[in-house]
């Protein structure tokens, strides 16, 4: 059985392994007094008063929102009076088209962010080692051929370093440096004051691409009891309870290099296993599913989307129930069913998914003179998030957008108030213009309108004479009685429904 031993980190590289500490057994907890927020405890009068005040404030806000004008349309009849009305309407049409375009673009950006498209870049991994206190390095204490003890008194050791970096990041930084030199002159010279400062793009650390790094030394555990397995593992995420907020990911100190030391004075082969760290997780597909989707690795969402495209392309949906899938020979070979319910496909694909195999690298640790100059490099394709996706997500979550939206809504409210005032002014103007053009006809029409309204208030059986309707004293007497009659009628209708008693 392999004996796992923790490596000794080099200066500048944090230690990534800590011995497991035994958790003490917890005893009975202290008695806790009943909380004030206990749902089984009745609320006190102060809480009831606060709830009533909050409900009253909400009702007042609702009334204000109901009274707030929302119409921003100026009638076309004002175009003859105000020349700028047509320009205002044209601006309104342009605003509607502009808002529709912005909303469509925003939805496109949100859809692109949700798709989580990955780009593949080349991660170059360098592996090297150095030797220390080897017999050929002890020149100050040469070995005596006639001596029985050939030990030098020092323990021979070797140190292995594993580091990596994205090649595209190096190219981009070199391009930024070239542009910087073109703007600022020779390398190392001071930039002119007018030269803009170029900010170097952040570079992902080597450890951020992997969940674990395991190194296995191919030698006997009996001769080297210090351990032949060196590993670093990323802390697992906190468990998520249903209904609870998603906990933040654990904090990890990322690094660019991974080092360890071991004793030894002979060459040894080592196997380096790198488990990829991808979000969302990718899986290795079974041969049948991989042949159907024409891919060997994919995420759960990508697998479901691939099956959906296959179903639509081959027209396998049930015409009566579109969520049912009629399996063709390829699907029957995978799922062993004649018909499928499409929402169950994510669960049915679980037996056909396997974790990704770790990236395996072989390296020979040398302890001779060539070990100080030997260095091996491996290129590995790793998926990364599309950099444009981060910029799109920043646009969606930008606080400036919410602030500008509030400013636009405030300006719209002001425009609605102004338009309401314009409509009121137009109504007043129409009233006085009609009165000035035909005073007698306008008054007759107005009196007839008031007569009809009064007849409605007093009831259908009560008629109003025209001569009485022309006298203001009649309205002073009959209007109050009509209002009381209308209220009495409404109260009787409510009383018949059994809500409140009728008025006495």
Give the CATH number of the domain where residue 206 resides: 1.10.245.10
Highest average pLDDT, of 241-255, 392-406, 453-467, comes from 392-406
338 vs 328: CA distance, rounded Å: 8
Q: What is the DSSP letter of 15?
A: -
Helices and strands in the chain, H and E counts: 12, 13
For residues 425 and 431, give the distance between their C-alpha atoms in angstroms, rounded to a whole number: 10
For residues 265 and 184, state if they share a domain.
yes
Average pLDDT, the chain: 77
At which of 324, 359, 385 does a domain end?
385
Q: Is residue 378 part of a domain?
A: yes
Per the structure, the count of domains in the chain is 2
**Higher pLDDT residue, 450 or 119?**
119
- Percent of the chain scoring above 90 in pLDDT: 26
- Residue 341 CA, chain-centre distance (Å), reads 29
Same domain, 208 and 357: yes
pLDDT of 64: 67
Residue 320 and residue 208 in one domain: yes
pLDDT in tens, 324-367: 999 999 999 999 999 999 999 999 999 999 999 999 999 999 98
The pLDDT assigned to 12 comes to 40
Tell me the C-alpha distance between 285 and 306, whole Å. 12
Quickly list DSSP for 319-356.
Answer: SS-TTEEE--HHHHHHH--SEEEGGGHHHHTGGGEEEP
Q: Are residues 178 and 286 in the same domain?
A: yes
pLDDT band, very low/low/confident/very high, at 186 (cuts 50, 70, 90): very low
pLDDT tens per residue, range 368-426 = 877 777 788 999 988 888 878 888 888 888 888 888 888 998 898 888 888 888 888 88
Whether 170 maps to a domain, the answer reads yes
* DSSP assignment letter at 130: E
d(CA 6, CA 266): 21
Give residue 273's domain range.
118-140+153-235+253-385
Say what the pTM is.
0.57
Same structural domain, 213 and 336: yes
Residue 345 covered by a domain: yes
- Within a domain: 182: yes
Instruction: Decide: residue 285, CB within 10 A, 0-12 exposed, 13-18 middle, 19+ buried.
Output: buried
What is the H or E stretch that residue 151 is in? none
Same domain (yes/no): 217, 135: yes
What residues have CB less than 8 Å from 402, skipping those under 6 apart?
A: none
> Which of 385, 418, 449 is the last residue in one of the domains?
385
Evaluate whether residue 68 is within a structural domain: no
Asked whether residue 416 is assigned to any structural domain, the reply reads no
Q: Taking a C-beta distance cutoff of 8 angstroms, is the pair 318, 310 a contact?
A: no
In this predicted structure, the answer to whether residue 485 has a pLDDT above a threshold of 70 is no
Mean of the pLDDT values across residues 243-263?
81
How many whole angstroms separate alpha carbon 329 and alpha carbon 288? 11
What is the DSSP-derived secondary structure letter of residue 123? Answer: E
Q: Residue 341 falls within a domain, yes or no?
A: yes
pLDDT digits (tens, 9 = 90+) for 256-289: 988 999 998 889 999 999 999 988 888 999 999 9
Q: What pLDDT, in 10s, does the model give residues 282-326?
A: 899 999 999 999 999 888 988 999 999 999 999 999 988 889 999
Q: Is residue 491 part of a domain?
A: yes
- CA 411 distance to own-chain centroid: 30
């Amino acid at each position: 059985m392999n004996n796992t031993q923790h490596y000794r980190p080099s200066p500048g590289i944090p230690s990534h392994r800590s011995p497991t500490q035994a958790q003490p057994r917890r005893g009975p907890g202290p008695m806790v007094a009943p909380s004030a927020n206990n749902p089984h405890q009745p609320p006190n009068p102060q809480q009831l008063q606060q709830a009533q005040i909050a409900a009253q404030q909400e009702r007042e806000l609702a009334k204000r929102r109901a009274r707030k004008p929302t119409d921003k349309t100026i009638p076309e009849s004002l175009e003859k009076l105000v020349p700028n009305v047509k320009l205002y309407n044209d601006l309104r049409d342009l605003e509607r088209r502009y808002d529709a375009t912005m909303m469509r673009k925003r939805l496109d950006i949100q859809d692109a962010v949700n798709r989580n498209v990955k780009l593949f870049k080349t991660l170059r991994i360098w592996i090297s080692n150095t030797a220390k206190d080897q017999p050929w390095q002890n020149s100050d204490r040469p070995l005596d051929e006639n001596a029985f003890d050939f030990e030098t008194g020092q323990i021979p050791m070797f140190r292995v370093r594993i580091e990596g970096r994205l090649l595209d990041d190096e190219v981009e930084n070199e391009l930024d440096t070239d542009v910087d030199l073109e703007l600022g002159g020779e390398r190392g010279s001071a930039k002119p004051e007018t030269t803009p400062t170029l900010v170097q793009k952040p570079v992902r650390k080597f450890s951020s691409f992997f969940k674990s790094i395991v190194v296995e030394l191919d030698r006997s555990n009996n001769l080297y009891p210090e351990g032949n397995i060196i590993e670093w593992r990323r802390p697992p995420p906190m468990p998520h309870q249903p209904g609870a907020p998603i906990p933040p990911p654990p904090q990890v100190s990322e690094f660019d290099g991974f080092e360890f030391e071991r004793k030894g004075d002979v060459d040894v082969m080592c196997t380096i296993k790198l488990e990829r760290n991808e979000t969302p997780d990718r899986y290795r597909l079974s041969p049948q599913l991989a042949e159907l989707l024409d891919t060997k690795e994919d995420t759960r969402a990508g697998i479901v989307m691939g099956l959906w495209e296959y179903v639509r392309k081959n027209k396998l949906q049930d015409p009566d129930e579109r969520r049912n899938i009629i399996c063709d020979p390829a699907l029957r070979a995978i799922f062993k069913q004649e018909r499928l319910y499409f929402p169950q496909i994510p669960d049915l694909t679980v037996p056909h998914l396997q974790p990704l195999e770790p990236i395996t690298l072989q390296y020979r640790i040398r302890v001779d003179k060539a070990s100080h100059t030997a260095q091996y490099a491996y290129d590995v394709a790793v998926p990364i998030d599309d950099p444009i996706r981060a910029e799109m997500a920043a646009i969606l979550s930008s606080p400036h957008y919410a602030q500008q939206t509030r400013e636009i809504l405030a300006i719209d409210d002001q425009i609605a108030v102004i338009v309401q005032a314009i409509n009121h002014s137009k109504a007043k103007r129409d009233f006085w213009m009609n009165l000035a053009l035909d005073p007698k006809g306008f008054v007759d029409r107005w009196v007839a309108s008031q007569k009809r309204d009064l007849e409605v208030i007093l009831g259908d059986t009560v008629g109003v004479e025209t001569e009485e309707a022309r006298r203001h004293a009649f309205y002073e007497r009959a209007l109050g009685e009509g209002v009381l009659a209308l209220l009495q009628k409404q109260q009787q209708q409510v009383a018949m429904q059994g809500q409140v008693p009728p008025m006495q």
